[in-house]
Amino acid sequence: MPRYRKLYYGVHIGRKTCLCNFTGACIIDKNHFMRLLFIGLLCCSTASGQAIFSGKDSSVIKIINDLPASEPFDTAHSYRKVNSPYVYIISDKDLYDIFGWPIPVKYEDFNFSDYHILGTLECKQCMLYCHHDEGQTNCHCNRCNKGWVWTMRDNKKAFTEIPVTIMPGHIGNKLLSKHHSFIGDTIIKATPDNSMTQWYVTGHGDCMAHFNYSLFTDKYHPVLLLQERNYWGGCRAGGSRDYTISFIMSPGILYHTKNTILMRKSEY
Ligand SMILES: [Zn+2]
Ligand SMILES: [Zn+2]
């Protein structure tokens, strides 16, 4: 993985540039320089063996630079706002839904069966050069500038599949039957004894569509990802189906996302 090495070097360069901040200025005199070089070497030796990114995310293949760094992502739907610091792109449907035309055309050959794209809202310089997770306070000289950073990640290294039980209908939720405004959204609620968590989903497709679900946690971020496979049923009329997905909630989860993959009928 040559790209990995290149980024790893970036960390070392970052460690040296970061030191200019400790003096309060970016100009270093000779005495300072030797002392800082020594500290720098200590820093670097403890840093070696650490993962490239602040999140120690070993699933990252590379940073993608040609996706928007700020919202709106889809200029044709500029009112759309992302309500999470994480945006997962696991299929070409996500590309269309999030960015609109013409970005998906550029990613026609992206191998979604092995990789995905994760968007995170953060300072790109911090992501590349800082170690804030290890308590580093000063890093790069200029101010932090938050924007959307897109990374290509390895599916197998990024996700852990969680066992689920899938039942048709929205089972055991009185709130849902009372509030019919709940259409196509998802709600997570623990059972009274807190042992199981329920994710209520509605799949939208044609009247003969099939749906299947897989649930994953991200190994590096506090996110639960529900993958919905929507199998085309070959019917002209629209249709939707409700399901209840039961699982044991992993500790520390802060966000959840449901991503739909459109499947051909023959793939069912
Ligand atoms: Zn930083
Ligand atoms: Zn920063």
Judge whether residue 127 has pLDDT over 60: yes
**% of the chain with per-residue pLDDT over 70:** 74
* Cβ count near 117 (within 10 Å): 20
Collect residues with CB below 5 Å from ion ligand 1: 126, 130, 139
Q: How far away, in angstroms, is 124 Cα from ligand 2 center?
A: 7
Ligand nearest to the Cα of 139, by number? 1
Q: What is residue 183's predicted lDDT score, i.e. its pLDDT?
A: 52
> What distance lies between CA 246 and its chain's CA centroid?
23
* CA-atom Rg of the chain in angstroms: 23
**Residue 189 Cα to ligand 1 middle (Å):** 37
Cβ atoms 116, 88 nearer than 8 A: yes
156-215 pLDDT, tens digit each:
999 999 999 999 988 876 655 555 545 556 777 777 777 889 898 999 999 999 999 999
- Ligand 2 centre to CA of 126 (Å) is 4
Neighbours of ion ligand 2 (CB under 5 A): 123, 125-126, 144
What three-state secondary structure class fits 192?
A: coil
What pLDDT does 54 receive? 41
The ranges assigned to domains in the chain are 1-157, 163-267
Specify the pLDDT at position 36: 44
What's the 115 CA to ligand 1 centre distance in angstroms? 27
Q: What CA–CA distance (Å, rounded) separates 89 from 230?
A: 16
Cα(98) to ligand 1 centroid in Å equals 28
88, two tokens: 């997962």
Q: What is the pLDDT of residues 85-124, one digit of tens each?
A: 999 999 999 999 999 988 999 999 999 999 999 999 988 8
Q: What is the DSSP string of 102-142?
A: THHHHTTT--TTTEEEEEEEEEHHHHHH--GGGT-----SS
Range of 70-79, 99-108, 211-220 with top mean pLDDT = 211-220
Over residues 235-243, mean pLDDT: 91
**CA of 147 relative to ligand 2 center, distance in Å:** 10
Residue type, 174: K
pTM for the model stands at 0.74
pLDDT band with cut points at 50, 70 and 90 for residue 48: very low
Q: Tell me which residue of 67, 20, 63 sits closest to 40, measured CA to CA.
A: 20
Amino acid 172: pLDDT? 73
Q: Report CA(188)–ligand 2 centroid distance (Å).
A: 34
Compute φ and ψ for 193, nearest 5 degrees. -85, 5
Choice among 12-26, 133-147, 228-242 with the minimum mean pLDDT: 12-26
Could you report the per-residue pLDDT of 141-158, keeping only the tens digit for each?
889 989 999 999 999 999
Q: How far is the CA of 135 from the centre of ligand 2 (A)?
A: 14
- Asked if residue 25 has pLDDT above 90, the reply is no
